[in-house]
Amino acid sequence: MFQLTGQVAVVTGAGSGIGQAIARLFAKQGARVAVLDLDPNAAAATAESIRSADGHADPFTCDVADAGHVADVFARIDAARGRIDVLVNNAGIVHIGTVEQTSEADLDRLYRVNVKGVFLCVRAAVPIMRRQGGGVILNLASIASLIGLTDRFAYSMSKGAVLTMTRSIAVDYMKDNIRCNCVCPARVHTPFVDQYLAQYYPGREREMFDKLSAYQPIGRMGTAEEVAVLALYLCSSEASFITGQAYPIDGGVLVA
């Protein structure tokens, strides 16, 4: 079960965190993974870690918000592999602040990566998937797509858009055998969390880490590997009856 043997999977933002965990797990399950990241060194490191575990991976430097860059990278993947079976839109950025604390530049920056980036990658992948008779798209949304979060105005805006894009894509391409779902994590412990705490709470990292962890009623943050397992299920043939859905992975936040 949950095998991706011989499939070509594109994972954006795969240089670290959740994207890296998804890339590694998909490769372990037999996929040939295209590792996309804005940081070429991070993409190369993830691909090398996959290859060192006898998996198949190729690194690509990609700015998901640049239309020409996205088109070029997806064309190169298609030329090399002849298909794209799975697209995971994981690349994203965050912003902390209310509407009053959000500048026009902040909003544009979040939109450019989190919304336009998903649009551009889906637009590049769908014609390839239609040509080959189907495929799977998985978008990384957030519980911010589903509930209001304090001080996350711009981020919530962008992730709400990811949710509605997911449902539109699912409806538009169901007859083309293209499924599209999204996952909605609560807080997940990634290198970004550690960097954020070091930057904004120097000397209080442990205190704030515990506070952020306690937000999840289950008592801890999620792990990137746990999100990757859910992603694997939704991208596998075992989930072939599922499309247009948002899957929370939130440690009980939505039911508390």
Q: Per residue in 8-50, pLDDT tens?
A: 999 999 999 999 999 999 999 999 999 999 999 999 999 999 9
Q: Kindly tell me the sign of the dihedral angle through the C-alpha atoms of 56, 60, 63, 66.
A: negative
Which single residue is written with the structure tokens 């691909």? Answer: 47
Is the pLDDT assigned to residue 76 strictly greater than 90?
A: yes
Contact status, residue 165 vs residue 114, Cβ threshold 8 Å: no
Domain with CATH 3.40.50.720 in the chain: 8-186+223-247
Indicate the pLDDT class of residue 256, thresholds 50, 70 and 90.
confident
pTM: 0.97
CA distance 104 to 109: 9
pLDDT level of residue 148 (50, 70, 90 thresholds): very high
The pLDDT assigned to 171 comes to 98
Mean pLDDT rounded to a whole number for the chain: 97
Report the distance separating Cα 212 and Cα 30, nearest Å: 35
% of the chain with per-residue pLDDT over 90? 97
Residue 63: pLDDT band (50, 70, 90) is very high
- Does the structural domain 8-186+223-247 have CATH classification 3.40.50.720? yes
Residues with a known catalytic role: 155
- What pLDDT shows up at residue 89? 98
Do 25 and 43 form a contact (C-beta atoms < 8 A)?
no
Contact predicate 186/215, CB 8 Å? yes
* Cα–Cα distance measured from residue 59 to residue 81, given in angstroms and rounded to the nearest whole number: 14
Q: pLDDT by residue (tens digit) across 209-244?
A: 999 999 999 999 999 999 999 999 999 999 999 999
User: Is the predicted pLDDT of residue 199 greater than 90, yes or no?
Assistant: no
Beta pairing, strands 135-140 & 86-89: parallel
Using the CB atoms, write b or e for 27-59: b if 16+ within 10 Å.
bbbebbbbbbbbeeebbbbbbebbeeeebbbbb
